[in-house]
Amino acid sequence: MKDKEVGAKIINLQETIPEEQFVFMHDIRDGKSTWSRKTIDYFELSGANAIDTIEEFTRLVHPEDVERWKREVDEAFSLRSKDLFSTFNIKNKQGNYVRCTMKGKVIIAENGEPAFYTGSLTVHGNELAKDIVTDLPKLQMYLNDVHSVKCSRRECLTMAIEVRKFHNINNLCGHNFGNKVLYELAQYMVEQMGNYGRVYRMDGTIFTFLFNDSDVEHAESVFKKIREECAKFELDGRMLNLQIAGGALYTKNPASGSNVILSSLLAILEKAKDADSYELQLSNDEMQASDNANIKMLNEIKTSIQNGCEGFYICYQPFVSTMTGKIIGAEALVRWKNDAYGEVAPGRFIPQLELHPSFYELGLWILRTAVRDAKKLLDKIPEFFINVNMSYSQLERGCFKHEVVRILEEEDFPKSHLQLELTERCRNLDMRYLKEQLEFFRSHDIRIALDDFGTGNSTINLLCDLPINCVKIDQTFILHILDQSNNQIVVNSTVQCAKQLGMDVCLEGVENGEIRDFIGRYSVNYHQGYFYSRPVRFESFMDFLSDTWRTDRINLIKEDSRDMFSANSIVSMIPGGFFIYTADDKERIISVNEILLEIFECDTLEEFYDLTGGSFKGIVHPEEYACIEKSINQQIANNNNNRDFVKYNIITKKGNVKKVRDYGHLVRNDNDVDVYYVFLVEDR
């Protein structure tokens, strides 16, 4: 077949693919693109089939996306990048921006030269449609409108309101009633705004307002009216004392884009909530400048996402089976690292970023990376499963579920070994919609876990209504289980209930041996917590499982009474060469296990003490000690309990030099000197 015929065939495929998909062919040799008829109609392109893609599309791509889009397409078409994968907003013929993803691949001609770039454009679900619960426009529309306001007026007044503790209403009166309240409330907000601007629904119970003018007093009066209405809100004969928090931002700064404005606005709202403030928190450009650091960081993070999720990495925290005491799965927890900011924990960016469209890409990257890593573990532990957190903003997109399946297929990962965690805020989605999404996953054998059960919007009803495989009881219950009998009651009844419904149960927040011993009374499937392991990089996680970690149970042969965490139980859970030493200048070794003796090729404890002098200093190769000591002192000075492993050499009794990895965990003890827990593995 001639190249051109191949092209025509591909374009004809258009008739067989779904509504929201468009195909194109780009002839690399003459730089012309051919689009299907459907595409030309949808975007109202200039009639002819062959068009110059860059020119035609540039005028339609959203101004905030256009530079990046051009770069990505240019790189692909000039064959500098292998695959085209670009997500951006584009205007359709109704003049509305729709979000879409363009993908493509090179086709090689008969003569072996690259001939075509063939690709598809997928218009994503209904981000621009109205929210089904409140009938309000949603996030993407807000961003578009803020952008237009800034282009036309160069200043902008916007407000965010969050209805607080809304889960109480869902808990007491059910989700349907909760949805009705949100609908009524939204209508009241729209009424108050009148012709002064527009109201939008964001994540959960957050609403944003965009004013047509910049009269701050007016925003305050709208806020006040809504606050008063909420306090005496009545529906179906029920009095609801709804409390709200609000923040407003007035900006004259034309440099900041709509995403920056939204991040700033949400940061002000967070402040209002933290301060438990009854009043509207106001901020303007000058005030913003003083606490812009966080927003700047968020913007850096967004840029990292655009650069192929550069700087992100995933740590894995194991699930330990209560049946076998062995690692059976892990949760993927994302982190971001950058020269200027160091390592940044997700708590500092996920809540704000989740709302932002770029989070979608990051979410897919996390999923792909996690299953790719997990696949490598399946050889070692055939039943291994990987948990990946799922956010409201991902589930909200109808296409998310298909992308999950696609990724699993592309990565050739067995679907039943993925467990998606439904994080707290997902539970604010419309129940019917949520159930449909989860049922889709279940129909593909993908498991669902309910994360942080017991916090926010969690009721026993949820367990009955949703297709759930596993309940993760929130760590706050477990962290304070020893002295709070209420927590014991909640955990006990939730475990009973979940078990009767045939679900697995995981207890999170197993922070120390005392907690571990106590929760042994609950018949659950898995434990997760610092006691077993902190979240660690994949490399370290592999070490836990690799041959160098001895997996047989082994007892401590020397234990010290200062050992507050019952070292014996740790040793039986995470095996390896293990010792504890005081973190004072004497560095005295106070507990040792048998495997450590084996690593040092000693037959008895006495031989080991003779060899090392009973101190940490005697463990490390003399030439390396100064360097290791420096890095450890730095860790203590920085107050970090954990560090990445350090590598050094040791000299055994038989005079062999062995390379080892040292995973150290510093434990601060009020009554006594600090102690270091160390696992040592041979670095083969």
- For residue 451, state whether it binds Ca ion (rule: CB under 5 A): yes
- The sign one gets for the Cα dihedral 546, 548, 552, 553 is negative
First CA to last CA across the chain, in angstroms?
Answer: 54
Q: Which stretch binds Ca ion (CB under 5 A): 178-186, 253-261, 417-425, 614-622?
A: 417-425
Q: Which stretch binds ligand C2E (CB under 6 A): 35-43, 126-134, 169-177, 339-347?
A: 339-347
- Taking CB under 6 A as the criterion, the residue among 182, 297, 350, 680 binding ligand C2E is 350
Whether the CB-CB separation of 19 and 125 falls below 8 Å is answered with: no
- Taking CB under 6 A as the criterion, the residue among 25, 193, 266, 366 binding ligand C2E is 366
- For residue 475, state whether it binds ligand C2E (rule: CB under 6 A): yes
The encoded tokens of residue 481 equal 């289980």
Exposed, middle or buried by CB within 10 Å (0-12, 13-18, 19+), for 236? Answer: exposed
Counts of helices then strands in the chain (DSSP H, E): 25, 29
- For residue 394, state whether it binds Ca ion (rule: CB under 5 A): no
Distances (CA, A) of 498 to 453, 457, 474: 11, 17, 14
- Indicate the SS3 state at residue 600: coil
Between CA 97 and CA 88 the distance in angstroms is 10
Kindly tell me which of 254 and 520 has the beta carbon lying closer to ligand C2E: 520
158: part of which helix (H) or strand (E)? strand 156-164
- Taking CB under 6 A as the criterion, the residue among 3, 131, 451, 587 binding ligand C2E is 451
How far is residue 511 CA from its own chain's centroid? Answer: 22
- For residue 529, state whether it binds ligand C2E (rule: CB under 6 A): yes
- Indicate the SS3 state at residue 681: strand
Strands (DSSP E) along 279-434, which ranges?
Answer: 280-284, 312-321, 327-338, 342-344, 385-390, 418-422
- Taking CB under 5 A as the criterion, the residue among 36, 120, 122, 389 binding Ca ion is 389
At CA 168, angle to CA 167 and CA 172, rounded to 5?
115
Between CA 355 and CA 270 the distance in angstroms is 14
Question: Which does residue 345 bind out of ligand C2E, Ca ion, none, counting CB within 5 to 8 angstroms by kind?
Answer: ligand C2E
- For residue 125, state whether it binds ligand C2E (rule: CB under 6 A): no
Q: Which stretch binds Ca ion (CB under 5 A): 132-140, 188-196, 383-391, 491-499?
A: 383-391
Number of residues that bind ligand C2E (CB under 6 A): 22
Question: Which does residue 509 bind out of ligand C2E, Ca ion, none, counting CB within 5 to 8 angstroms by kind?
Answer: ligand C2E
- For residue 487, state whether it binds ligand C2E (rule: CB under 6 A): no
- For residue 452, state whether it binds Ca ion (rule: CB under 5 A): yes
Question: Which does residue 333 bind out of ligand C2E, Ca ion, none, counting CB within 5 to 8 angstroms by kind?
Answer: ligand C2E
Q: Which stretch binds ligand C2E (CB under 6 A): 46-54, 123-131, 186-194, 341-349?
A: 341-349
Question: Which does residue 419 bind out of Ca ion, ligand C2E, none, counting CB within 5 to 8 angstroms by kind?
Answer: none
Between CA 589 and CA 128 the distance in angstroms is 63
Q: Which of residues 391-420 bind ligand C2E (CB under 6 A)?
A: 391
Question: Which does residue 346 bind out of Ca ion, ligand C2E, none, counting CB within 5 to 8 angstroms by kind?
Answer: ligand C2E
Q: Which of residues 500-519 bind ligand C2E (CB under 6 A)?
A: 509-511
The nearest distance, CB 528 to Ca ion, in angstroms, is 8
Partnered with residue 556 across adjacent β-strands are 593
Kindly tell me which of 335 and 653 has the beta carbon lying closer to ligand C2E: 335
Q: Residue number with the shortest CB distance to ligand C2E? A: 529
Q: Which of 470, 468, 473 is nearest to 452 (CA)?
A: 473
The nearest distance, CB 377 to Ca ion, in angstroms, is 19
Contact partners, residue 531, CB within 8 Å, separation at least 6: 510, 511, 512, 513, 515, 516, 565, 570, 573
- For residue 389, state whether it binds ligand C2E (rule: CB under 6 A): yes
- For residue 662, state whether it binds Ca ion (rule: CB under 5 A): no
How far is residue 31 CA from its own chain's centroid? Answer: 40
For tokens 């005028």, what's the residue?
59
User: Which residues contribute to the site for ligand C2E (CB under 6 A)?
Assistant: 317, 332-334, 345-347, 350, 366, 389, 391, 423, 451-452, 475, 509-511, 528-530, 535
User: Which residues contribute to the site for Ca ion (CB under 5 A)?
Assistant: 389, 421, 451-452
